[in-house]
Structure 1
Amino acid sequence: MTDPIPLPRRDMSDKGLPGNVKVTREDWLRVAMDLLVSDGVSEVKVLTIGNRLEVSRSSFYWYFKSRKDLLNQLLAEWERTNTGIMVAAAEAPAPTITAALNGFFRCIIDPDGFNHQLDFAVREWARRDGAVRRVIDRSDSARTDALARMFMRYGYDPAEADIRARVLYYQQIGYYALELNETLEERLSRVRLYLYAFTGVYPSEDEVEELRAFSRQVAAR
């Protein structure tokens, strides 16, 4: 079982909720995402979520018209968070291209940032649903376009920026897909040359150490 998806949660004793409704829309989405990651979309069921939240089905209908509506909102939340987080990281200002790439990696490393388990759960869902596949394609394009713009801000030709963006993005998604048996220190030992390989520019020692320190800090949480 994976850790629950960190959507905001309201106090269950909140008197502002209508009638006998004990949970919020975010609670329903949080558990739905947890089920999607752990068991797949077929197990994202109203009754199952209600049982986990210990509420009746009537609570569900305060926020969603149907299970299909829940799934649509779940997909929209994934696009808002995972894709939004990655695009924001690519657009963040930085003094150098290697510092900008560090910012991208921080969003990937931070468990409160890009959720790769959720990303793969949605991709698995897309294998059986053409509409979801189209949303995946749109998100992949938005992510690679943002990374290409990141490279162009630092003087890369648009064609080269596009290729570098694709190599960077495909490598990162593939890294998670392969589930490599690599220790943190092994990966961190390659930071300097990773940054060089993706940019063609050697990073400063401060930039290398900044990413290493951030990675160790996250691992120690």
Structure 2
Amino acid sequence: MATEKRQLTAHDWAAAALTAMGRGGAAAVAVEPLSKVLGATRGSFYWHFSSRGDLVRAALALWERRETEDVIAWVEAVDGPRERLRTLLLGALRRTSGPSAEVELALQASVDDPDVAEALARVTARRLEYLAAQFAALGHDDADARERAVMAYSAFLGHTQLVHATPSLAPSGDDLAGYADRWIARLTEDAPVPAVGGAR
């Protein structure tokens, strides 16, 4: 007796589209190939989405949630801004290879797609806002906190590209924690001593 196939959800389609983006950017999202990958019909696609553009936007929303909002929620469980910065940077550096990094790089290369450009702008602004808030909690004024946030984010993007292009030249393994610590030390130097009880 044949087993009935599981009914696909919009999330299944979005996740498959996001995987395709990691391999070939936004242009790699096409209904027919994804239907074959998922073992589904085009009818399944149109049950959830009215167009390919809707699917692309759903995949980008999934990426935004996974790689930004979920990460921020995870880091928020860490006590204190300096430790949150270290945890965030070290976690980001450890994710500069594999599927997450592939999607990040592919989206950066697909910025000519309006939907991708909009998602990248939104995600970058959110990430920089969160980083700047951590530096501000350490006592830096708004302009300085923003500058340090940009430097930290640039370190992440640069490391991602370095691992992608010339992995043998990038810190890895046991060296990565020390590398992250030195980055955080440089980025937080000259921070005023927090008030009694520490900055939270």
TM range (shorter): 0.7 to 0.9
Where relative contact order (Cα < 8 A, 6+ residues apart) is larger, the structure is 2
TM-aligned CA distance change 1:130 to 1:70, over 3 Å: closer
Please say if 1:190 is aligned against 2:179.
yes
2:144: which partner in 1? Answer: 160
SS, match of residue 94 in structure 1 = coil
Please say if 1:140 is aligned against 2:129.
no
Contact 2:57–2:115, Cα closer than 8 Å, also in 1 = no
Give the 4+ runs in structure 1 shifted more than 4 A: 89-93
Structure 1 stretches lacking a partner, 5+ long? 1-11, 15-21, 203-221
TM-aligned CA distance change 1:149 to 1:43, over 3 Å: same
Number of equivalenced pairs: 180
TM-score (structure 2 length as normaliser): 0.77
Contact 1:64–1:70, Cα closer than 8 Å, also in 2 = yes
Contact 1:32–1:74, Cα closer than 8 Å, also in 2 = yes
2:11: which partner in 1? Answer: 26
User: Residue 199 of structure 1 is aligned with which of 185, 188, 195?
Assistant: 188
TM-aligned CA distance change 1:90 to 1:162, over 3 Å: farther
User: Residue 42 of structure 2 is aligned with which of 42, 45, 57?
Assistant: 57
TM-aligned CA distance change 1:79 to 1:153, over 3 Å: same
Structure 2 stretches lacking a partner, 5+ long? 192-200
Contact 1:79–1:139, Cα closer than 8 Å, also in 2 = yes
1:69: which partner in 2? Answer: 54
Q: Supply the distance in 1 between the matched residues of 2:179 and 2:95 (Cα, whole angstroms).
A: 18
Please say if 1:39 is aligned against 2:20.
no
Question: Percent identity between the aligned chains?
Answer: 26
SS, match of residue 176 in structure 2 = helix
Contact 1:83–1:139, Cα closer than 8 Å, also in 2 = yes
Note the 1:79-98 alignment, pairs <5 A.
79-88=64-73, 91-95=76-80, 97-98=81-82
TM-aligned CA distance change 1:40 to 1:93, over 3 Å: closer
